[in-house]
């Protein structure tokens, strides 16, 4: 029988992995909706309204899944990780509190207006509601990433009788890794939503959707992907350098660097071996890791040998990093090639559309892999240097955790399958629908 | 900067407010879910439409209530949540099923719609019942004897009844025609059941919990404190008569049952908090002992002072936008 600690970790990982899928889409999809709606307001061209109407349905579904899995998260702190709040609650509490107060209510309330109020409020108020929802999702990301970053690189606090007290809220919120992690995540969300829109639009085109909307959304999505992808490489690099400064053991695990060394090679592939503390089957580029991390071929990188006993498990961090980077590279290549084709030929070939459909959820894979790198990379700590995961765990019996884990896991698997099926079913329905008579909507809007 | 004692009052009060608002608001949409017919598509659509724009924000009050407990009274939060581990899990699964069913019923294949309506109903019942069950366990100081479990089961049924009451009252307010008549009958039935439930809980609770007995019968209690329970019971009777009148003429005062139900909720909630104040974990921890660090709570207080009134304003705005009898729910 697994113990409460391991079960609680698996349960939290399951919950948060499932949860993050949906905000990753909605944070940026909200802004795509703003773009579609504003374009419609300006041009009055029905194609933008069609794009809005289709994607707002997907937004609603995605948002609902994010909300229900998020509520579960808010209970888990108390049920499974009581030590977390007891030790660092004075920091984590207000940050979570500000998220609920400044984001959750705003998103939920204006989502109602945005979804069901188009014929009840003026076009301007409706567009404003769409903007408020997008702002809300972004504010929510701000607070939760601030807290997460503080757990990675805690600053602005002091310890009194083993409890953390805030001393400087500005330093707490804008802790060293926060600006990088926040921008990295926003860009990840942008790319995830862009590939989802591109994928589903391609799916509609493959199903012989002759309407104009999927062509337009495909173009917008690929353009956004081409703009954000290079930016993401740049921000990702800065984020890595920041990690090297504050959490060198995480970078050592990412690079598979067992020993401190000058001119560290870049390991393209290997199987890290925790017993011999070396890499098996390594394929390396000499000195390249030092060049990337220190911008100097002979730069010294601290190895895992300096952190024995307090460094994260190497394999998941090492592979997670390669999956993230690999998927990112693939996304960049596909975005550039397809956008170029679209520019040259004004349409994509069959196989290009198929590749985009296959990559609908590529953003999810890259984002999850990235989160695994940074979260597992923080182990054995829950809050770096302050609190270990083991110290924070609940005293609830392992049987109870096993029951709840099984229940969550089964519900989540079913929901994930249903979500993806419903997404493409909604696309199928959109393909079959005749052109709407948009004059009706316009009349209502201009009334 | 407020001192810890003041902060205990402020955050204790805020948390109580969040729980009360949650019970009333999510209460009515859970109630509508409990009442959802699985054999009448038109009624189901109208009923869902009546809560569509609101349920999400309503549920956010639960997050706020739990969040405030987490932030302001972290020790109490972890004691309570660990003690209620499995009931919470079941309630959350209920809320998850219900939340997604709301969206899937409109987007899934037509033949699956009924199945999602059933899920919506089951999820609502499960969530409501577990909330009542947990309230019962809380009242019994998390005791796990047979007697306490029975009391918790009774309390679970009571909350299902109360949510059905306010849900039906919401439908009386928001619907018209045949469905409104059905809602009037549902409301009357649920009102009578809840009436019995409230009396039963009020008798049983002081008998098996000596602290509660002391609070009501042995303290130097001003007589005015007897007003809320008496008023509460009187309101049940008034409610019943109002509904009888509505059966004859549904044109006038369709809003009255909802208002009365909300006041009943407020009075019951008052009775509950009075029974336990100043304890946040019954018999173990008071709000003054459990309160978090003042530097953290004062920092959050700025946000509370600015944001909470704003939340109330835009919530009112949203209810004004969707004012009046419900119209078919067309997305967009």
Going from N- to C-terminal start, the domains of chain B cover 4-321
pLDDT of residue A439: 47
How would DSSP label each residue in B123-182? Answer: HHHHHHHHHHHHHHHHHTTT--SHHHHHHHHHHHHHHHHHHHHHHHHHHHHH--HHHHHH
Count of CB contacts below 8 A, A vs B?
207
- In sequence order, what DSSP letters do the residues of B271-319 get, joined into one string? HHHHHHTTEEETTTEEHHHH---HHHHHHHHHHHHHHHHHHHHHHHHHH
Contacts of A356 (CB under 8 A, 6+ apart): A195, A198, A199, A201, A202, A218, A334, A338, A348
Q: For chain A, give me the number of helices (H) and strands (E)?
A: 16, 8
Tell me which residue of A18, A370, A430, A379 sits closest to A183, measured CA to CA. A370
Residue A256 lies in a domain: no
pLDDT of residue A176: 93
A444 has a pLDDT exceeding 50: no
**Best mutation site among B10, B58, B64, B71 for testing chain A: the one with the most A CBs within 10 Å?**
B71
Using the predicted structure, report yes or no on whether residue A114 has a pLDDT greater than 60.
Answer: yes
Q: Give A447's pLDDT tier (boundaries 50, 70, 90).
A: very low
DSSP letter assigned to residue A436: P
Would you call A347 helix, strand, or coil by DSSP? coil
**How far off is chain A from B183, nearest CA to CA, in Å?**
24
pLDDT of residue B330: 57
Specify the higher pLDDT residue, A438 or A48: A48
pLDDT at A251 over 90: no
Per-position pLDDT tens, chain B of length 332: 788 888 889 999 999 999 999 999 999 999 999 999 988 888 888 898 889 888 888 988 988 888 888 888 888 888 888 888 889 989 999 999 998 888 888 887 777 888 889 999 999 999 999 999 999 888 888 888 888 899 899 889 999 999 999 999 999 988 888 888 888 999 999 999 999 888 888 888 888 777 778 777 776 666 777 778 888 888 889 888 888 888 887 777 888 889 999 999 998 888 888 888 788 888 788 888 888 888 888 888 888 888 888 988 888 888 888 888 887 665 54
Record: contact B59-A71, CB cut-off 8 A? yes
Distance of CA B51 to the CA centre of its chain: 15
Cβ distance B331 to A117 less than 8 Å, yes or no, reads: no
> Is residue A236 pLDDT above 80, yes or no?
yes
Contacts of B43 (CB under 8 A, 6+ apart): B37, B179, B182
Our CA-based measurement puts residue B58 at a distance from the nearest CA of chain A, in whole angstroms, of: 8
- Residue A325 above 70 pLDDT? yes
The alpha carbon of A337 is separated from its chain's Cα centroid by a whole number of angstroms, namely 24
The CA distance from B332 to B302, in Å, is: 36
Per-residue pLDDT, averaged over A79-97, amounts to 87
- Following DSSP, what letter does each residue of A22-54 receive, concatenated? HHHHHHHHHHHHHHHHHHHHHH--HHHHHHHHH
Listed ranges A139-153, A156-170, B229-243; the one with the highest mean pLDDT: A139-153
Does B60 sit within 8 Å of A105, measured CB to CB? Answer: yes
Confidence of residue A1 (pLDDT cuts 50, 70, 90): low
Task: Answer yes or no: CATH 1.20.1630 is held by domain B4-321.
Answer: yes
Distance (Å, whole) CA A418 – CA B99: 14
Q: Residues of chain A with pLDDT > 90: what percent?
A: 42
Measured CA to CA, the distance from residue A15 to residue A404 in angstroms comes to 11
CA distance A294 to A300: 8
Give the closest-approach CA distance of B23 to chain A in angstroms: 16
pLDDT digits (tens, 9 = 90+) for B175-200: 888 888 888 999 999 999 999 888 88
Number of Cβ within 10 Å of residue B178's Cβ equals: 10
pLDDT at B209: 77
Q: Which two tokens stand for residue A134?
A: 């997008």
Contact with chain B for residue A110, Cβ under 8 A: yes
Query: Which residue range forms the structural domain that includes residue A384?
Result: 4-246+315-446
Name beta bridge partners: A159.
Answer: A164
pLDDT in the model for residue B240: 87
If one counts the domains in chain A, the total is 1
Q: What is the pLDDT of residues B216-244, one digit of tens each?
A: 777 666 677 777 888 888 888 988 888 88
Per-residue pLDDT, averaged over A307-324, amounts to 88
ipTM of the complex: 0.86
**How far separated are the first and last CA of chain A, in Å rounded?**
66
Query: Using CA atoms, how far apart are residues A278 and A259, in angstroms rounded to an integer?
Result: 9
Helix (H) or strand (E) holding A283: strand A278-285
| A404 with B86: Cβ contact below 8 A | yes
- Prior bond to A300 cis, omega within 30? no
How many angstroms separate the CA of residue B77 from the nearest CA in chain A?
6
Q: A266: which strand partners?
A: A285
Q: Is the pLDDT of residue A78 over 80?
A: no
In order of A313, B81, B186, B198, the CA distances from B192 in angstroms are: 61, 32, 10, 10
Residues of chain B with pLDDT > 70, as a percent, come to 97
Interface contact A400-B85, CB threshold 8 A = yes
Q: Give the nearest chain A residue to B102 (CA atoms).
A: A64
| Per-residue confidence (pLDDT) for residue A446, from 0 to 100 | 45
| Exposure string over A316-334, b if 16+ CB within 10 A, otherwise e | bbbbbbbbbbebbeebbeb
DSSP letters of A307-336?
GTTSS--HHHHHHHHHHHHHHHHHHHHHHH
Distance CA A204, CA B312 (A): 42
Cα–Cα separations (whole angstroms), residue A393 to A93, B23, B76: 18, 31, 16
Show residues of chain B in contact with A61, CB under 8 Å: 103-104, 107
In 3D space, the residue among A227, A236, A199 whose CA is nearest the CA of residue A370 turns out to be A236
Say if CB A296 and CB A361 are below 8 A apart: no
Answer whether residue A410 is part of any domain.
yes
State in Å, rounded, how far the first CA of chain B is from the last one: 46
Distance CA A107, CA A135 (A): 8
Q: Does A53 lie at the interface with B, CB-CB under 8 angstroms?
A: yes
Note the pLDDT of residue B33: 93
Q: Considering only residues A353 and A257, tell me which one the structure prediction assigns the higher pLDDT.
A: A353
Of A70, A96, A407, the CB nearest to B71: A96
The predicted pLDDT at position A435 comes to 57
Q: Which residue of B has its CA nearest to A403?
A: B86
């Amino acid at each position: 029988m697994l113990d409460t600690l391991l079960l609680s970790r698996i349960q939290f990982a399951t919950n948060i992995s499932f949860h993050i899928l949906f905000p990753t889409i909605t944070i940026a999809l909200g802004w795509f909706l703003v773009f579609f709606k504003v374009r419609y307001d300006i041009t009055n061209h029905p194609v933008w309204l069609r794009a809005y109407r289709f994607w707002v349905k997907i937004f609603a579904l995605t948002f609902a899944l994010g909300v229900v899995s998020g509520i579960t998260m808010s209970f888990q702190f108390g049920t499974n990780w009581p030590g977390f709040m007891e030790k660092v609650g004075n920091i984590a509490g207000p940050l979570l509190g500000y998220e609920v107060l400044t984001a959750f209510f705003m998103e939920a309330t204006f989502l109602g207006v945005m979804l069901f109020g188009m014929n009840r409020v003026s076009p301007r108020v409706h567009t404003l509601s769409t903007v408020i929802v997008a702002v809300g999702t972004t504010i929510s990301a701000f607070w939760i990433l601030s807290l997460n970053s503080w757990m990675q690189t805690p600053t602005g606090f002091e310890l009194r009788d083993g409890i953390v007290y805030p001393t400087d809220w500005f330093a707490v919120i804008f802790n060293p890794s926060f600006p990088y992690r926040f921008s990295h995540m926003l860009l990840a969300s942008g790319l995830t939503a862009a590939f989802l829109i591109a994928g589903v639009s391609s799916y509609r085109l493959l199903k012989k959707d002759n309407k104009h909307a999927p062509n337009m959304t495909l173009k917008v999505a690929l353009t956004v992907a081409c703009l954000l992808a290079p930016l993401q490489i740049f921000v990702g690099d800065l984020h890595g350098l920041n990690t090297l400064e504050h959490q060198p053991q995480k970078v050592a695990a990412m690079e598979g660097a067992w020993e401190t060394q000058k001119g560290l090679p870049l390991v393209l592939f290997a199987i890290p071996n925790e017993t011999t503390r070396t890499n098996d089957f390594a394929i390396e580029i000499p000195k390249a890791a030092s060049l990337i991390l220190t911008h100097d071929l002979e730069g010294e990188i601290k190895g895992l040998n300096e952190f024995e006993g307090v460094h994260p498990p190497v394999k998941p961090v090492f592979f997670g990093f390669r999956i993230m980077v690999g998927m990112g590279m693939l996304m960049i290549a596909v975005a550039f090639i397809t956008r170029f084709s679209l520019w040259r030929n004004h349409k994509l070939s069959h196989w290009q559309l198929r590749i985009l459909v296959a990559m609908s959820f590529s953003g999810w894979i890259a984002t999850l892999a990235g989160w695994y790198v940074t979260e597992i990379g923080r182990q054995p700590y829950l809050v770096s240097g302050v609190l270990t995961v083991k110290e924070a765990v609940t005293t609830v019996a392992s049987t109870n955790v096993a029951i709840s884990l099984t229940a969550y896991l089964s519900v989540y698997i079913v929901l994930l399958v249903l979500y993806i099926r419903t997404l493409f079913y909604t696309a199928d329905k959109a393909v079959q629908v005749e052109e709407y008579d948009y004059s009706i909507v316009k009349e209502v809007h201009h009334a | 900067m407020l001192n810890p004692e003041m902060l205990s009052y402020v955050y204790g009060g805020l948390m109580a407010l969040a729980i009360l608002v949650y019970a009333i608001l999510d209460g009515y949409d859970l109630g509508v879910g409990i009442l959802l017919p699985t054999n009448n598509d038109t009624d189901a659509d109208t009923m869902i439409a009546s809560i569509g724009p609101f349920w999400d924000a309503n549920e956010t009050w639960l997050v706020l209530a739990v969040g405030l407990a987490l932030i302001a009274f972290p020790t109490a939060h972890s004691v309570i949540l660990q003690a209620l581990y499995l009931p919470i899990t079941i309630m959350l699964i209920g809320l998850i099923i219900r939340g997604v069913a709301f969206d899937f019923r409109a987007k899934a294949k037509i033949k699956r719609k009924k199945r999602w309506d059933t899920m919506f109903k089951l999820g609502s019942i499960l969530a409501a019942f577990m909330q009542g069950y947990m309230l019962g366990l809380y009242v019994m100081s998390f005791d796990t004897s047979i007697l306490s479990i029975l009391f918790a089961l009774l309390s679970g049924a009571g909350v299902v009844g109360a949510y059905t009451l306010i849900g039906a009252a919401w439908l009386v307010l928001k619907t018209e025609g045949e469905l409104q008549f059905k809602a009037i009958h549902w409301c009357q039935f649920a009102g009578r059941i809840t009436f019995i439930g409230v009396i039963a809980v009020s008798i049983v609770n002081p008998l098996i919990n000596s602290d509660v007995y002391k609070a009501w019968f042995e303290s130097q209690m001003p007589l005015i404190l007897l007003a809320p329970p008496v008023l509460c019971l009187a309101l049940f009777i008034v409610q019943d008569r109002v509904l009888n009148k509505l059966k004859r003429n549904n044109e006038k005062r369709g809003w009255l049952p909802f208002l009365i139900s909300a006041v009943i909720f407020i009075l019951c909630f008052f009775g509950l908090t009075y029974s336990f104040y100043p304890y946040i974990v019954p018999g173990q921890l008071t709000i003054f002992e459990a309160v978090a660090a003042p530097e953290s709570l004062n920092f959050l207080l700025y946000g509370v002072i600015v944001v909470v009134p704003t939340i109330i304003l835009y919530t009112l705005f949203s209810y004004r936008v969707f004012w009046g009898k419900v119209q078919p729910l067309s997305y967009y």
